[in-house]
Amino acid sequence: MSENKHKGERIAKIMARAGLCSRREAEGWIAAGRVQVNGRKLETPACVVGPDDKIIVDGKVLQSAEATRLFLYHKPAGLVTTHKDERGRKTIFEALPSGLPRLVSVGRLDLNSEGLLLLTNDGALARYLELPQTGWRRRYRVRVLGDVDEARLRSLKKGITVEGVQYRSIDAVVEPGGAGKANRWLSVTLREGKNREIRRVMGALALQVNRLIRVSYGPFNLDKLPEGGVKEVEAAVLWAQIPGYFKDQGA
């Protein structure tokens, strides 16, 4: 372990960056005896490690952190956003092309949702981008069945409570065309993404969501990325879009 605290980083931070867990979860793993450094079981997360230290988690060597990378993925419907599904359903990570690093998702899209999903090899970045404090908006195209009341859609800007859950301001407008049809397309923009938020909010307005496509997440857009396709964000673009993250990481 590094003797000079200025030449290393806290082990919980390194574990989070590797995508294993959050910093808080890392503390629990250490307390449970799951982490070793240089052959010694850690008893406290107050441990600074350097590039020459050998970290073992659950019996596996933790490789040196790679440069932070971010990918855009066009998630198809019918895949779950998890590494392993206890119900045996196919996951996005099983569907990804070969040759990619170990990745984690920035938030989730549920089984029947599709569109833009951000993937990264940096677990700390994933959690950073999920925070509403980033100010990044998430925009969706949503097809609904039911009688669309545009006044009620506008009222969502003030937020809404559904079954005891408070949802923040939502921008929802009807897309042009389609008047008189049973299904209408809406453009919906969120500033946070609680579990099944759009489906639950629309349900509260007596609208049934039968298709949901995320088209943008912050500055990143789905554009013409084909279904199942993956595109890496150039490093210069990544640094330009989230300079605060790299500053906090000391990069």
pLDDT tens digits, 174-187: 999 876 688 999 99
Which two structure tokens, joined as six digits, stand for 99?
Answer: 């040759």
Q: 114-120 and 208-217 as β-strands: parallel, antiparallel, unpaired? A: parallel
**What's at 97, amino acid-wise?**
P
Provide the mean pLDDT of the chain: 90
- The yes-or-no verdict on residue 3 having pLDDT over 80 is no
Query: CA-CA distance, 32 to 38, in Å (whole number)?
Result: 17
**Cα angle: 74, vertex 78, 80; to 5 degrees:** 80
Domains of the chain: 5-61 (3.10.290.10), 70-133+220-248 (3.30.70.580), 137-217 (3.30.2350.10)
- Per-residue pLDDT band for 1 (boundaries 50, 70, 90) equals low
Which two structure tokens, joined as six digits, stand for 124?
Answer: 């700390």
- The yes-or-no verdict on residue 37 having pLDDT over 70 is yes
Long-range contacts of 5-13, Cβ-Cβ distance < 8 Å, separation of 24 or more: 5/48, 7/50, 8/48, 8/49, 8/50, 8/51, 8/53, 9/48, 9/49, 10/45, 10/46, 10/47, 10/48, 10/49, 11/35, 11/37, 11/42, 11/45, 11/47, 11/48, 11/49, 11/55, 12/45, 13/124
pLDDT for 4: 43
- The yes-or-no verdict on residue 251 having pLDDT over 60 is no
- Does 110 qualify as catalytic in the annotation? yes
- Per-residue pLDDT band for 206 (boundaries 50, 70, 90) equals very high
- The yes-or-no verdict on residue 2 having pLDDT over 80 is no
Percent of the chain scored above 90 by pLDDT? 65
Q: Pick from 212, 102, 190: which is nearest to 139 by CA? A: 190
pLDDT tens digits, 121-178: 888 899 899 988 888 999 999 999 999 999 999 999 999 999 999 999 999 999 998 7
pLDDT for 5: 47
The reported pTM is 0.80
Q: What is the DSSP letter of 76?
A: P
pLDDT tens digits, 50-67: 878 899 999 988 876 678
Which two structure tokens, joined as six digits, stand for 81?
Answer: 């956003």
Query: CA-CA distance, 13 to 23, in Å (whole number)?
Result: 6
pLDDT for 150: 94
The residue behind tokens 């030449």 is 7
Q: CB–CB of 202/144 below 8 Å? A: yes
The residue behind tokens 């909010």 is 201
Catalytic residue from among 85, 110, 122, 147: 110
The residue behind tokens 């010694």 is 40
pLDDT for 250: 54
